[in-house]
Amino acid sequence: MKKIRIFLGYLTLILIAASMLYPFFAMINMSFTENNEIFSHAGRIFHSGLTFENYKNVFREIPIGLYFFNSLLVSVITTAGQVIFASLAGYAFARLNFKYRDALFLLILITMLVPPQVNIIPLFFLMRELHLVDTYQALILPALFGGFGVFLMRQYFLGFPKDLEESARIDGCNLFQIFFKIALPLALPTVVTLAIFTFVTSWNSFMWPLIITNSESMRTLPVGLAIYKGSFRELTLWGNLLACSVICTIPVIGVFLLGKKYFISDILQGGVKE
């Protein structure tokens, strides 16, 4: 009976994985299909007569390289900023005693309950007053700080062994040395998990870049592709759009594959209780 349960468990996981991977591979396949043959090959994972024409059309018709660069730049800087500030704040809220610590952390948690759409108008007016509309600063600054990152890092540092801190202090380490040389390296799985979530969120961001940018040179990939889709009049070029979708997914998959080991390690740490 035990072997049957294990077999059924693996079979269920395989079926779930196949249901998620099938649309992805079908998208890749159709991105290499000519536009007039898209629907005749719809749903197939493999077929003959593959072509790169859709990708050539995309690079000819829109500055997708510029959109890609803008999205990558904004996402990388946003991710780095989130990791740095969230790690420092999370360690402070978890390990340091200072006045109004719990009240400040409660305010940070409250910000997580506010829908992002509510902040768009105030943020836009703020950026306008600072003369940052249609700049990289406007795309990056609002996303450098987030309650989720602080909460995630604080939860990790709450379980950080006190013996390590005391041993480091005995050895003459100051607070910053303890954080950068001991606490942060041990928190690497959680840091990578936060980096993956932040990168994906920033890469897929659409509403804020759409509102805060005006010129084509500042558009990110989601905004540029939405405008490109809106340029179709009588006939939607699905092959071109699918080629764009494949290009959009490459960095996200790459980031996940690079951090997969630490991401899984963080999940296991959170699920195992001593």
- Answer whether residue 269 shows pLDDT above 80: no
For 225-262, the pLDDT digits (tens) are 888 887 776 677 888 888 888 998 989 888 888 887 77
Instruction: Classify domain 61-271 by CATH number.
Output: 1.10.3720.10
Higher per-residue confidence, 46 vs 164:
164
Mean pLDDT of 143-164: 87
Q: Say if residues 220 and 65 touch (Cβ distance below 8 Å).
A: no
Sorted by where each begins, the domain ranges of the chain are 1-51, 61-271
For 174-195, the pLDDT digits (tens) are 888 888 888 888 888 889 989 9
- Answer whether residue 130 shows pLDDT above 70: yes
Mean pLDDT of all residues belonging to the chain:
85
- Answer whether residue 272 shows pLDDT above 50: no
The percent of residues in the chain predicted with pLDDT above 70, rounded, is: 90
Mean pLDDT of 64-85: 94
Q: So what's the pLDDT on residue 273?
A: 44
CB atoms under 10 Å from CB of 28, counted, come to: 15
Q: So what's the pLDDT on residue 198?
A: 93
Q: So what's the pLDDT on residue 4?
A: 82
